[in-house]
Amino acid sequence: MSVTAILGTSKGAFVARSDKDRSSWTIEEPLFKGWKVTASGRDETGTYFVATASDVYGPALHTSKDLKNWRQIEKGPAWAKDSDRKLNQIWTLHLGPGRFYAGVDEAGLFASDDGGESWSPVEALNEHPTRPSWGPGAGGLCAHAILVDPSNTDRIWCGISAVGVFRTEDGGRTWHPKNQGIPVVLEDKKHKDVGFCVHGLAADPDDADTIYRREHVGMFRSRDGGESWQRIENGLSSWFGFPVAIDRRSRTLFVHPMESDEYRMPTDGKFRMFRSRDGGDSWEPLSKGLPQQRAYMGVLRGALDVDHLDPCGVYVGTTAGTVYVSRDAGDSWTELPCTLPRVLSVSVFTDG
C-alpha cells in the first residue's frame, strides 16, 4: 500500500509519497515549475490529470500515466472565439466514472466523453437564463465544485462563485438554482435565485442528497439534494472558510474555519482544523501538532483532501506553503518536510 499526494501550488506541483503508515514522506522536485497547478485528479484507469494556469500563458490540462511523463491535452476546455469569454483557470476536475467534467473561470462547465482528450461546453448551464446576472467573487467568476450522484450520474450539482449551486436531473440538459435557505450576498435586481457565494461542496458517499456546503456566510447542510439548506455551525470557531472534505468510509467531515470574510486568517493565530463525526450536527477543534501561536495562514478551497484509509488520513495545504498531514482522522498532525509556494490544490491517491 502506498499513498501519493499531488500538492498543487502557485509555482508548480510537488508529489509527496509515503507508505500506508503515512509517517515518513518524500517530496519530489516540482512538476510544471513556474505554473500554477490549480486542480488534479486520477480517473478509474489510473491516468492522472493536472490543470495548470499562468497569468501570462493561460490555462491548460495535462495527462500522465506515471506522474513523470506528461502530455498537454490539445483539445482541452476552451471558450469559442465568438463567446466573448476568456478561459482563465480550470478550477476543478470530476474524472468519472463515466463522463468527465471540468469547472472553469470564466465560469462554466465543460464535459468530456472520451477520457479527457476533448471537451465540450455544457451549454444549458453555461448559457443559463440567469447568466447575465452572474457576478464574480473575490476569486473570480468560477465554477469550482462538481458533485455527481454515483447512483444516478444524470444528477449533478455545480457550485459557481458568486452565483450559487445549480442542479441537473437530466444529465445536464436543464439546470436549476438550488439555494433556498442560503442568505444572498450579491442580490440581483432581476434574478433572485442567483447571487449566492458557495465556497465548497461535499456529498455523503452513500446518500447524494445529503450535501455539505461551505458558503461565504456560513456552513450549511441539505438533506434533500439541495432543495433546502440549514446551518450546521455548532462548535465551529467561526462561520467563514473554504474547503470541506468527507471521509468515504466513516463519513467524518473536515473544515478549516477562518476569522470572517474580512480577515481570512485563523482566529487568534491558532491554526485549527475542525471535525464532525455526526454529519455536521456538532464540530470539534483539532490542534495537536498544528501551530497554535502566531499562525495566520489561510487554506484555499482546493487545498484539503482525505485518503479514505482506516483510519482516515487528512491533508491540508496552506497559503504559507506548509502542508499538514493527519494519519489518525485528525487526532494529531505532522508537517510535511517542505515549505512550498502558496498551496492551491491537494489531491491524494492510494494504491495497493
Partner 1 sequence: MGKVTIELPSVLGPIVDGDRTLTFEAETLPAALAALTDRYPALKVHLYDETGAFRQHVLCFHNQTNTRWMDSIDVPVSDGDTITILQAVSGG
* Choice between 102 and 148, CB closer to partner 1: 102
Instruction: Please count the CA atoms within 13 angstroms of the CA of 343 that sit on its side-chain side.
Output: 32
Q: How far is the CB of 86 from partner 1 (least distance, A)?
A: 6
* Choice between 110 and 254, CB closer to partner 1: 110
Phi first, then psi: give them for residue 348, nearest 5 degrees: -125, 140
Contact pattern for partner 1 over residues 208 through 237, marking x by CB under 8 A: ------------------------------
Q: How far is the CB of 42 from partner 1 (least distance, A)?
A: 21
Strands (DSSP E) along 20-163, which ranges?
Answer: 26-27, 36-42, 48-53, 60-64, 70-72, 89-95, 100-105, 108-112, 120-121, 142-148, 156-161
Contact pattern for partner 1 over residues 157 through 196, marking x by CB under 8 A: ----------------------------------------
Cβ contact 243:200 at 8 Å: yes
Applying CB under 8 A, the site for partner 1 has a residue count of 23
* Choice between 63 and 222, CB closer to partner 1: 63
Q: How far is the CB of 158 from partner 1 (least distance, A)?
A: 22
Please tell me whether residue 126 adopts helix, strand or coil conformation.
helix
Amino acid at 307: D
Cell of 345: 490544490
- Tell me which residues in 31-90 interact with partner 1 (CB under 8 A): 32-35, 54-60, 70, 72, 74, 76, 78-81, 83, 85-87
DSSP character string of 251-293: --EEEEEESHHHH-S-GGG---EEEESSTTS--EEE-TTS--S
Sites of contact with partner 1 (CB under 8 A): 32-35, 54-60, 70, 72, 74, 76, 78-81, 83, 85-87
